[in-house]
Chains A and B, each alone.
Chain A
């Protein structure tokens, strides 16, 4: 059984786009107005990672659930669907 999130993400097929569908509107807001960095905790695919001074966005592994857009306390994420046919491809349920 897959135990780590990394193992689990390998189970899923991603047809990645070359450009991100998730855009941090203002990196300064993450740095100065967001002590909790909640997105790095609740994102079910660990798409967001704080790298000391900047928010890294690993959009390639995104499940497109929308939690980050709704949960960002500063409304600082511009969120689109990936281009048609791109992004996550579930095979099961």
Chain B
């Protein structure tokens, strides 16, 4: 029989590397399998990495990890065609240890994180696709890869194979995702020298800004766009649910180009140079899309488990947390030498007891509410902009009259009851 490991992890993204690091550190024999040329070669995110969950795995990781900038300001832009309403929060304490979040470039970051797991003793094999789990008597006992003689065995297989989650699907843990359960996002990395980034975004040398953009950029479809500052580049991207893209017959690339050319955005990008174009899916099915997480000899982590909080743009932190919890479960299971579904089930309860399960539950109805009621994105963002325009354009109209005009406009579309209902529905979805 081929070599046997304590744990095989499929996919060296944040979830997989977190699991590999945690288990290898405790002395487990760990194999980490990555299909790309190197960890990160296939991986994409907008770019925000939250500090807390990685710190729980590698204390003071910021001293050595390849990070771009600590985020000191979060901006929110509500875009109309030629205007925007903005709000933001800036916090100087976020520019100092222990920081709150960072912008990162995943090809660099993932490579580093996987290497940290290797330093702890995990074996990393790149350029290898796991084609299926090897199942015997209903129990997962290893994986089949696309290498010659490519069967490898382990007590537990951790599926960290990302949003498409083909291996868990093949095990019957979930059906094919529906187009409303995934968001299609495209992004471009634009080179811009450090000094220009600092000046345009009004930040210091080692300070970054995240901008979340709503409204016009997604043509009213459920989705967001973003602009994040790296050291000497910016990431700009846009995404909507795949169903939104299909229904409105939108091309993601067109959305990106329109966003880049938008009069509120273009000045930030002027003179920049395209470095890379990237497309990826984001699991946004939420609480009700979470698949079966545990079986005999198998655990599902990260995007493969639909662990993304779309409202707060959190994902990689949930991935790392779930990877760590999976490894801790396997460590305990090894002590008892029991790798059955019952023995591994504490992983599932740990997930639901943690912020992952709780936050997914909190926003359970959010995506559904916003998808079914496009007025939030289609009508209210332009309405906000029009109200500001009416109120702040000095044209000799008395302010009382302006207020009346705004009130009339606001209630014209959906009526007073419609407006109150919408507000209640939105509050209920995120409360």
Q: Which positions in A face B, CB cutoff 8 Å?
A: 1-3, 5, 7-9, 11-12, 15, 36, 38, 41-42, 44-46, 63-67, 69-71, 75, 81-85, 87-93
In contact, B277 and A9 (Cβ under 8 angstroms): yes
Q: Which residues of B contact A3 (CB under 8 A)?
A: 257
Chain B residue with Cβ nearest A64: B42
Bound-state Cα–Cα, A92 to B105, Å: 6
Please list 6 pairs of residues, one from A and one from B, whose beta carbons are closer than 8 Å in the complex, sorted by A's number. A1-B273, A9-B277, A38-B249, A42-B242, A67-B182, A90-B107
Measured CB to CB, the closest approach of chain A to B250, in angstroms, equals 7
Q: Which residues of B contact A88 (CB under 8 A)?
A: 41-42
> In the assembled complex, which residues on chain B have CB atoms less than 8 Å from the CB atom of A15?
37
Which one of B186-194, B293-301, B410-418 is at the interface? B186-194
Contacts of A45 in B (CB 8 A): 279
Residues in chain A near residue B182, CB distance under 8 A: 66-67, 70
* Interface residues in chain B, defined as those with a beta carbon under 8 Å from any beta carbon in chain A: 35-37, 40-45, 47, 104-109, 126-129, 145-147, 163-164, 166, 176-179, 182, 184, 186-190, 230, 233, 235, 242, 245-246, 249-253, 257, 260, 269, 272-281
B146 and A90 form a contact (CB under 8 A): no
Bound-complex Cα distance A87 to B35 (A):
10
- With A7-B274, A42-B245, A44-B253 known as contacts, the answer to whether A93 contacts B106 (CB < 8 A) is yes
In chain B, what residue has the closest Cβ to A21?
B129
- CB-CB nearest in chain A for B261: A3
Q: Which residue of A lies closest to B182 (CB)?
A: A70
CB-contact partner of A81 in B106, B129, B278, under 8 A? B129
**A62-B213 Cα distance, complex, nearest whole Å:** 27
Main secondary structure of the interface of A (DSSP, over half): loop
Complex interface: chain A residues within 8 A of B257 (CB): 3
Q: With A and B bound together, what is the CA distance between A64 and B184 in angstroms?
A: 12
Residues of chain B lying within 8 A (CB to CB) of residue A70: 176-179, 182, 242, 281
Instruction: Check A11/B251 contact, CB under 8 A, given A42-B246, A84-B128, A90-B44.
Output: no
The answer on a CB contact under 8 Å between A85 and B37 is: yes
B45 contact set on A, CB distance < 8 A: 93
Question: Which chain B residues lie closer than 8 Å to A42 at the CB level?
Answer: 184, 242, 245-246, 250-252
Please name all residues of chain B whose beta carbon is closer than 8 Å to the beta carbon of A44 when the two chains form the complex: 184, 186, 252-253, 279
* Known A-B contacts A83-B146, A89-B41, A93-B189; A63 and B276 likewise in contact (beta carbons under 8 Å): no
CB nearest neighbor in B for A89: B41
Interfacial chain A residues near B276, Cβ < 8 Å: 11-12, 90-93
Chain A residues within an 8 Å CB radius of B187 = 93
